[in-house]
A and B are shown apart, each in its own frame.
Chain A
Amino acid sequence: MGSIAGTMYTFFQNSKTEGAYMLLFALSIVILYCTNRERDRFHFVYPTLLLLGVVCNPVTVWILSLIFPVLKNYSPLAGLIPILLYIPYGIVELLYIIKSAKTQRIVAILLFLYVSICGNFMGAFEGNTRTQTNYYDAGKKEVVEYLETNTKSMALADDSLLSFISSYGDSVPLLYGHDLLHADSDLGIIDGYDYEIFDIQRMMWAPEIYLDEIAKVAKTRGCDIIVVKNFEGAKSYTGVYREALTTPDYIVYRSIS
């Protein structure tokens, strides 16, 4: 029971740092339970609780992940949580309990402010999941600009950079693209990659251990640039590659020859 609660807590923490909207969602269910008649509870409250019981249940995800590898985590199922429907409906029900029009207006404005501040109203508030700073990543951009100007034959890049390169630097040829990341989860062969490519990708997760092996394979595959995550004690050269650019997040190695 404790582990399930822990999993759920982690899930919510990962999904939304502050959890303010989940709180509003939970409150709206309580409000709807209190304000709705028995008949409407059967339509709205109980099915939602059942839906939450199924969707937010680690057992469901585990069973489904056995059948559909695409459901390795909660994220596809989390979209089923009907936040968009329930929060406004709960707020409306709450507002129309209040008889005085003046109080109703004040409560409506306060709730509107709460919804806005907890989110990112018109992009005005920081601290949410997709603000300019964390989406348009300056560190990534620097690396991609370097790749665009310096890649002659092919580059091998860290997983976190792959999709960024496809958007910003679509002229950079890569040993593998971000389609490889979905190879396990779409029940089919996405691309014609061989097993060695999958091995390199796994080695790229731990460059502090496998950097020399990565360099060897990359050389045989014809890559002239390798981009790995920055780590402590990184060498300035490995095999025929030497360090060409270092950012707080990445190290770019370039072939000498």
Chain B
Amino acid sequence: MISFDMMNIPGLIVVLALPYMAGYILKTVTLRREIGQIETYLTGFFFLFLIQGAVFVTADSFMGLAFAGLCDCYVGMIIAVAAVFAVTVIINIILNKKRGREERYRQKLTKREWILISLMFLIGILVCIRVVGTIGYVREDFMFPTVKTTLATGTVNAYNPITSRPYVYGIINSRKVITLPIYYACTCAVFKMDPILLLYVICTIQTVICTYFSCVLFIIPIIRFRERLYMFGIFLGALLLSGDYFNYAIGGKLLWNGYAGDTIVAAVMLPYVLFLIMSGYRERRLKIIDSLKLFLVFFSSVFITGVAKGALLICITGGIAFICCIIIGRKGAAPEDRTLIVGE
């Protein structure tokens, strides 16, 4: 189980909060103030993968940095994101004061909705406990030995810990293997975290949170009733809690391999891509900002899983969804309304 020595609370907070900061910066830069908090976190999540992939591949391919140098780049990235976030928040506060803050009308929750949201929250906590519970079983995968070896040897290129052969041969695989484990190794090194804690708990919980967000984002325009949305969240949590059910489906993978690139692609990115395409279809046009988001997701998936898997899956799903939209035509398409309705 997790011991207190493995904990690094500031590191944990930064790892979990960094996507939101990155998303907030993106939201402000693109002047899309209507983007909700959930989507902000998700876009930031993808944006971070894109940045880390770009930084690590560039640094490794062209600059030939040592692992310590990459960690410095990583620290620089975190400081830059945090600083820009702080500046952006301050500017937004000042601008809001000047313009006069808009009065937000918040609809009160009904008693039944309070019960449902509490249940949903409880199930979310149970999912986190389940994730912590799985730490007892060390996984048979590439990632953990590679992260451990990277930390131990301080090398940029990942080495097979057993055969001691470098993973740098082959274009596709080298990119696939280098980016994500090195990213996790940098996080461990910078925040002095145990790789077991980072991979099997923090990253898995982050992926579970993002999966929740992604699925809810996808379903909001369709369900529209807040009560039903909470019910959806409860059963989604039940599926995650029972997550050993289906060897290749995402529920099982989330608990055991939530830190792996293909799990993130399938559990977080695919619902998000479907959401973007569906939104574009319902609004009868795909906005430039949506195209940018698709681009962001696509390249993030390439960096974290490699061209052969992640991008292919994204392309297949996106392609099928797009073809569906074309085949079906514009029959019945209606402008999207994401406002949730209270009560039934």
List A residues at the B interface (Cβ < 8 Å): 14-16, 20-22, 38-40, 42-44, 46-47, 50-51, 54, 68, 70-71, 74-85, 87-89, 91-92, 95-96, 108, 111-112, 115-116, 118-123, 128-132, 135-136, 162-168, 170, 172-179, 182, 186-192
Instruction: Please tell me the size bucket of the interface on B.
Output: 35 or more
A186's partner among B144, B223, B253, B308 (CB-CB below 8 A) is B308
- List residues of chain A with CB within 8 A of the CB of B332: 38-39, 42
B248→A79 contact, CB < 8 A: yes
B211→A84 contact, CB < 8 A: yes
Chain A residue, CB-CB nearest to B312: A68
A15→B246 contact, CB < 8 A: yes
Q: Provided the pairs A70-B309, A85-B215, A96-B344 are in contact, do residues A129 and B245 lie with their beta carbons within 8 angstroms?
A: yes
A44's partner among B144, B169, B222, B331 (CB-CB below 8 A) is B222
Interface 1/0 per residue, B182-205 and A, CB below 8 Å: 000000000000000000000000
Interface 1/0 per residue, B208-246 and A, CB below 8 Å: 000100010011001101001001111110111111111
A163→B141 contact, CB < 8 A: yes
The answer to whether B48 has its CB under 8 Å from any CB of chain A is no
Determine the distance from Cα of A84 to Cα of B214 in the docked complex, in whole angstroms.
Answer: 11
A179→B160 contact, CB < 8 A: yes
B167→A16 contact, CB < 8 A: no
B309→A16 contact, CB < 8 A: no
A74→B248 contact, CB < 8 A: yes
- List residues of chain B with CB within 8 A of the CB of A167: 138-141, 144-145
A122→B130 contact, CB < 8 A: yes
Closest Cβ of chain B: how far from A107's Cβ, in Å?
Answer: 11
The answer to whether B324 has its CB under 8 Å from any CB of chain A is yes
Determine the distance from Cα of A182 to Cα of B248 in the docked complex, in whole angstroms.
Answer: 18
Residues B298-344 near A (CB distance < 8 A): 306, 308-309, 312-313, 316-317, 320-321, 323-324, 328, 331-334, 344
B170's partner among A40, A91, A108, A188 (CB-CB below 8 A) is A188
B232's partner among A75, A92, A129, A189 (CB-CB below 8 A) is A92
Chain A residue, CB-CB nearest to B306: A186
A83→B250 contact, CB < 8 A: yes
A118's partner among B145, B161, B163, B242 (CB-CB below 8 A) is B242
Determine the distance from Cα of A16 to Cα of B107 in the docked complex, in whole angstroms.
Answer: 43
A43→B222 contact, CB < 8 A: yes
Instruction: Say whether chain B's binding surface is mostly helix, strand, loop, or mixed.
Output: helix
Closest Cβ of chain A: how far from B275's Cβ, in Å?
Answer: 10
A111→B241 contact, CB < 8 A: no
Q: Provided the pairs A83-B249, A168-B138 are in contact, do residues A70 and B308 lie with their beta carbons within 8 angstroms?
A: yes
The answer to whether B271 has its CB under 8 Å from any CB of chain A is yes
The answer to whether B165 has its CB under 8 Å from any CB of chain A is yes
- List residues of chain A with CB within 8 A of the CB of B231: 88, 91-92, 95, 108
Determine the distance from Cα of A246 to Cα of B29 in the docked complex, in whole angstroms.
Answer: 64
Determine the distance from Cα of A47 to Cα of B326 in the docked complex, in whole angstroms.
Answer: 11
Q: Provided the pairs A80-B313, A131-B244, A165-B162 are in contact, do residues A85 and B140 lie with their beta carbons within 8 angstroms?
A: no
A87→B172 contact, CB < 8 A: no
A164→B163 contact, CB < 8 A: no
- List residues of chain A with CB within 8 A of the CB of B53: none
